[in-house]
Amino acid sequence: MTILKIASIGHPVLRERARDVGSEELRGAEIQQFIDDLIETMHDASGAGLAAIQVYRPIRICAIEVKDNPRYPYKPNIPLTVLVNPVLTPLSEERFDNYEGCLSVPDLRGVVSRFAELRVQAWDRHGEPMDRVVRGITAGTFQHEVDHLDGKLFIDRVSDTRTLCTWREFSRYHESGFRNTVADVVARWGS
Ligand code: NI
């Protein structure tokens, strides 16, 4: 397996719209190896998710996993999920404020309004259809990753730029308040 290089904000690839992946292409050994490398890179960087576009490959694939993540110690766990050609549909107008960060936006966090309940339709890494509902903090993580496939970064969605902060200042001034938000979201939406 190979640890891939992660693109940083300012690189034009992060602003592309990633293209769909064909079912034949997905079954190929090369792309399966790429998906293994994407997962390995996400683990190496302690990301909660990583989109192919973030490793300079603008195709509609992203990986998501939260397992006692040191970057996001308050996030509910999410089992390893690979989404291919995902489509997200909000199931209600309800939203919550999510304090987000991104491996492609080093040392910056900010508050983004996210839908609290989503239908997720995608293929898994073997091309099997997936159709599920995700809620709460987990729904925020899915929206962040799928945004990458459309060339969007979380900072594009930060409506109050006064919430922007470094990771150090997040832990000093904002983390305890956000932990309360997370507890409320988890109590309401279960994740
Ligand atoms: Ni990101």
Looking up residue 138, the CATH number of its domain turns out to be: 3.90.45.10
The answer to whether residue 48 sits within a structural domain is yes
**pLDDT score of 45 more than 90:** yes
Q: What is residue 113's predicted lDDT score, i.e. its pLDDT?
A: 98
Torsion over CA of 17, 53, 104 and 96, rounded to 10 degrees?
A: 60
Per the listing, tokens 């989109």 go with 51
Say how many Å lie between the CA of residue 28 and the centre of ligand 1: 26
The answer to whether residue 42 sits within a structural domain is yes
The answer to whether residue 1 sits within a structural domain is no
Q: Where are the beta strands (DSSP E) in 60-184?
A: 61-66, 78-90, 95-102, 105-115, 117-123, 129-135
**Which pTM was predicted?**
0.96
The string of pLDDT tens digits covering residues 116-133 is 999 999 999 999 999 999
The answer to whether residue 59 sits within a structural domain is yes
The string of pLDDT tens digits covering residues 96-111 is 999 999 999 999 999 9
Task: Give the range of the structural domain holding residue 36, as residue numbers without chain letter.
Answer: 12-189
Q: What is residue 191's predicted lDDT score, i.e. its pLDDT?
A: 85
The answer to whether residue 111 sits within a structural domain is yes
Q: Quick check: is 94 catalytic? A: no
Say how many Å lie between the CA of residue 50 and the centre of ligand 1: 7
The answer to whether residue 7 sits within a structural domain is no
The answer to whether residue 4 sits within a structural domain is no
Say how many Å lie between the CA of residue 132 and the centre of ligand 1: 22
Overall domain count for the chain: 1
Q: Which of 81, 65, 85, 80 is nearest to 25 (CA)?
A: 85
Kindly name the residue from 16, 100, 145, 169 that is annotated as catalytic: 145
Say how many Å lie between the CA of residue 55 and the centre of ligand 1: 11
The answer to whether residue 49 sits within a structural domain is yes
